Amino acid sequence: MSDFAATSEPNVPTGQEPAIELRDVCKRFGRQEVLRGVNLTVFEGRTLVIVGASGQGKSVIIKHMLGLVRPDRGTVRVFGQDLNRVGRRGLDDVRRHFGVLFQNAALFDSMNVFDNVALPLRERTRCSEAEIRSNVEEKLALMDLLGSEEKFPAQLSGGMRKRVGLARALVLKPKIVFFDEPTTGLDVSKSNEIYRLFHRTQQQLGYTAVIVSHDVPKIFKLADQVALLADGVIQECLTPEAFQLSDQPVVRAFVEETMGRLYRSDAEEEGLYEKV
């Protein structure tokens, strides 16, 4: 723990509890070695953003955290529990604290919006139908989706699907929320909307967030830590400010390649977020 923290997270305030810890996680699919010893720690109440070129396995990291994929080697701990050892029941207990916004929202196409959001409540709690209704409507109102309850996912626009997905992810008041490419396929104003909702709900519910995103540099404004995944390992995990100034050659190449326009577009976006 100590040597790891010293190298990768010098800028995180001490005294915080880790919510998720990946230690030396390796994974290969067939002949392709996707992860080659990933070390990563997500602290409670914080936002970690994982960036990297596409095809590097960012989503695979999230799938490890969710327990959907088992590492070939290494451990994944969530709230101190090793996901490989907790068994099926234990994994379900851990997942009770998860909310996930999938890349394409992964809404159930056979159900309307209301039932989609209500599903976790119906299947996992003993709430009465009236409680479910009020809870779901509250979440839908938060996402500005009232009036669309009866629509089916196929009738929704991309931005609306994401918002329904976010409502569903948040309906059980999770402690950790995962965002897999939350803004791909959305235009600028729609993705700003998603970021705004993310920011607002995180302040309300105080959840830990793990975001996989391409949306550099915008995403840096929401992050507490930025981790760069390249060549199967986490190259750096730093605060956004330190990340942009890092001397590490891979990070530097990434920053220069993706953020050429950072300083130009900075001004336009200044007003969008309360948090800088």
Binding site for another protein (CB under 8 A): 63, 66-68, 91-93, 95-96, 98, 100, 102-104, 106-110, 119-120, 123-124, 172, 178
CB of 175 to another protein, least distance (A): 13
Looking at beta carbons only, is 180 or 224 nearer to another protein?
A: 180
Looking at beta carbons only, is 103 or 258 nearer to another protein?
A: 103
CB of 172 to another protein, least distance (A): 8
Torsion sign over Cα 235, 186, 105, 100: positive
Looking at beta carbons only, is 98 or 195 nearer to another protein?
A: 98
Encoded amino acid at 64, one letter: H
CB of 63 to another protein, least distance (A): 8
Contact 182, 194 (CB under 8 A): yes
Looking at beta carbons only, is 22 or 226 nearer to another protein?
A: 22
CB of 97 to another protein, least distance (A): 9
Looking up tokens 């409670």 gives 44
CB of 166 to another protein, least distance (A): 13
Return the structure tokens found at 60.
């695979």
Looking at beta carbons only, is 66 or 227 nearer to another protein?
A: 66
Q: In which order are the strands placed within the sheet that holds 98-101?
A: 98-101, 176-180, 208-212, 47-51, 225-230, 233-238
How far is residue 141's CA from residue 114's CA, in Å, rounded to a whole number?
12
How far is residue 226's CA from residue 238's CA, in Å, rounded to a whole number?
5
CB of 20 to another protein, least distance (A): 14
Contacts of 218 (CB under 8 A, 6+ apart): 191, 195, 269
Give CA 63 to chain center in angstroms.
11
What is the total residue count of the chain?
Answer: 276
- Say whether 27 sits in a helix, a strand or coil: strand
Looking at beta carbons only, is 42 or 251 nearer to another protein?
A: 42
Contact 51, 63 (CB under 8 A): no
Other beta carbons less than 10 A from residue 132's beta carbon:
19
Looking at beta carbons only, is 105 or 233 nearer to another protein?
A: 105
How far is residue 223's CA from residue 219's CA, in Å, rounded to a whole number?
7
CB of 104 to another protein, least distance (A): 6
